[in-house]
Amino acid sequence: MTFLELVAARQSVRAFEPDRRIPREILERCLEAARLAPSACNSQPWSFIVLDDPAQVRALALESCTRPPHGMNKFVANASALVVVVTEKMKLAARLGAQFRGVQYSLIDIGIACQQLLLQAAEDGVGSCYLGWFNDRAVRRFLDLSPTAKVDLMLALGYPVHPAPRPKNRHPLDKIRRYTQPG
C-alpha cells in the first residue's frame, strides 16, 4: 500500500469488534510512530496513557463519554484500547513563539503525533476515532492526573466491524490548491 492509499483508507471508526484485543506490539508501533512526530522547537509536548484492559476501557468510556452532555460517544465502550493524550508544558522557545503569534503550537503538535499514530494503526488493520468531546474532569479523576494536566484528545482504537472503507466527502483539489506561479 502506498502512503496515499493508506491516507485514503484511514477513516473514523465508530463500530468496533467488542471482544477483540489489539496486541501490544501493534500498540507499541503506533506509539513509536507518534513519538517520531515533529513538534515546534522539538518540544514534544505530549504523553500517552494507554488503556488496553477491556474493563478499564469500558469504565473510562462510561465515565467520560456516555453521560450527558458528553453522551454522544457511546461506541467508545466497545473500543479495544483508549489512548489518552496529555499535553505537557512546552519548551520556553515554543511558548514564547506561541504567545507572540497567538498560536497554540502544542495543539498542532499533538495533532501531528496523533495522526501518525492513527496512520500506523490503519496500516496494521486497526480502526480509530479521534475523540474531542468527553468529560476531561472524569478522565483526570479516573487516571488520577493532576488538576493541571491538560487532556485535549483521546483516541479510540479497535478492529472495525465494517472494515471496508467508505467514500470520503472531501473538497476537490482544485478548490483547495493555488500555485503562486503558473506551472
Domains with residue ranges and CATH for the chain = 9-161 (3.40.109.10)
- Report yes or no on whether pTM surpasses 0.75: yes
DSSP at 69:
T
What is the grid cell recorded at 129? 476515532
Q: Residue 93: what pLDDT?
A: 67
83-116, pLDDT tens digit by residue? 999 997 766 666 677 677 777 888 999 999 999 9
Phi and psi dihedrals of 15, rounded to 5?
A: -140, 105
31-75, pLDDT tens digit by residue? 999 999 999 889 999 999 999 999 999 999 999 998 888 888 999
What is the grid cell recorded at 156? 479510540
The distance from CA 66 to its chain's CA centroid, rounded to whole angstroms, is 18
Measure the CA–CA gap between 80 and 16, rounded to whole angstroms: 8
In sequence order, the 6+-apart residues with CB closer than 8 A to the CB of 37 are: 109, 112, 113, 116
CB 57 within 8 A of CB 131: no
Phi-psi map region of 64: left, alpha, beta (phi>0 left; psi -120 to 50 alpha): alpha
Q: Which of 19-23, 45-49, 98-102, 130-134 has the lowest mean pLDDT?
A: 98-102
Q: What is the percent of the chain where pLDDT is above 90?
A: 75
Beta strands in the chain (DSSP E): 46-51, 81-87, 127-131, 150-158
The distance from CA 142 to its chain's CA centroid, rounded to whole angstroms, is 19
Measure the CA–CA gap between 81 and 51, rounded to whole angstroms: 5
